[in-house]
């Protein structure tokens, strides 16, 4: 009986010590921050849509650290010091690189810009209220010459996180009227009641290639309605 008690005590003690050991592991203390950029400018995306992955060699359990991008193209992750491999995951609104691994040496807080090549970009965007309509002006530019245009869209919503997934209004441009490199207009039509009663709304434009599942966006703009 005494032997059984000692065995149980030893097991409980070892479990307690292991638990304490896990609890005493240090949390990551340094920050890796940056943004995805094209020609020095951040590429806007869907919030928590496109992803980056970090891999660290030398550990028995090899699993990626997933980093979701903010809508302005920025990212941030808490890490330990060390060497990492950063991978730009596929299905993003930019060209998949032949060699898509970026090696990073993290020693203390680290800032890093990740270059990407979007299939298309939107420049010169502006939004204007006209009666109950929102008129968007923009220029669609082809960056990857083999890319095909699938959608050019205007989004309106109540949230600063307005995009393809979260929006109240979505209007497609007529692609037959889209001349690359030249200004076009998209009209929202009459705003729905749940928007036009507000003091302001958010507007954003997106462009999508047939080669990707995600859109490249403009920055969100706040539009006063009253």
pLDDT at residue 192 greater than cutoff 50 = yes
Alpha-carbon span 23 to 34, nearest angstrom: 30
Average pLDDT of every residue of the chain: 87
pLDDT of residue 20: 47
Q: Helix (H, G, I), strand (E, B), or coil: what is residue 125?
A: strand
Q: What is the pLDDT of residues 5-19, one digit of tens each?
A: 434 444 444 444 444
Alpha-carbon span 88 to 108, nearest angstrom: 23
pLDDT of residue 17: 42
**Domain at 120-224: CATH code:** 2.60.40.2060
pLDDT at residue 29 greater than cutoff 70 = yes
pLDDT of residue 194: 93
pLDDT at residue 161 greater than cutoff 80 = yes
CATH 2.60.40.1120 holds for 30-115: yes
- CB-based contact 136:127 (threshold 8 Å): yes
Same fold, 30-115 and 120-224: yes
Domain ranges across the chain: 30-115, 120-224
- CB-based contact 205:136 (threshold 8 Å): yes
pLDDT of residue 96: 82
- What's the distance, Cα to Cα, between the start and end of the chain in Å? 83
Of the segments 23-32, 99-108, 119-128, which one has the largest average pLDDT value?
Answer: 119-128
Q: What are 63's two structure tokens? A: 């699993």
Alpha-carbon span 54 to 210, nearest angstrom: 27
55-69, 159-173, 179-193, 203-217, range with the lowest pLDDT: 55-69
pLDDT at residue 3 greater than cutoff 80 = no
């Amino acid at each position: 009986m005494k032997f059984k008690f000692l065995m149980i005590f030893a097991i409980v003690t070892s479990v307690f010590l292991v638990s304490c050991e896990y609890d005493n592991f240090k949390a990551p203390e340094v920050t890796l921050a940056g943004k995805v950029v094209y020609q020095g400018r951040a590429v806007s995306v869907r919030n928590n849509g496109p992803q980056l992955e970090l891999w660290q060699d030398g550990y028995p359990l090899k699993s990626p650290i997933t980093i979701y991008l903010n809508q302005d193209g920025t990212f941030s992750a808490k890490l330990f010091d060390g060497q990492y491999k950063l991978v730009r995951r596929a299905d993003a609104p930019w060209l998949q690189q032949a060699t898509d691994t970026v090696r990073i040496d993290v020693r203390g807080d680290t800032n890093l810009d990740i270059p990407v090549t979007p299939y298309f970009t939107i420049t010169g965007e502006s939004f204007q209220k006209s009666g109950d309509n929102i008129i968007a002006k923009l220029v669609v530019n082809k960056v990857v010459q083999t890319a095909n245009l699938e959608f050019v869209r205007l989004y309106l919503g109540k949230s600063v996180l307005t995009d393809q997934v979260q929006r109240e209004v979505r209007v497609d441009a007529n692609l037959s009227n889209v001349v690359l490199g030249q200004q076009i207009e998209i009209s929202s039509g009459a705003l729905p009641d749940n928007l036009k009663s507000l003091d302001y709304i958010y507007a954003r434009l997106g462009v999508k290639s047939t080669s990707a599942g995600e859109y490249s966006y403009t920055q969100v703009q706040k539009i006063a309605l009253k």
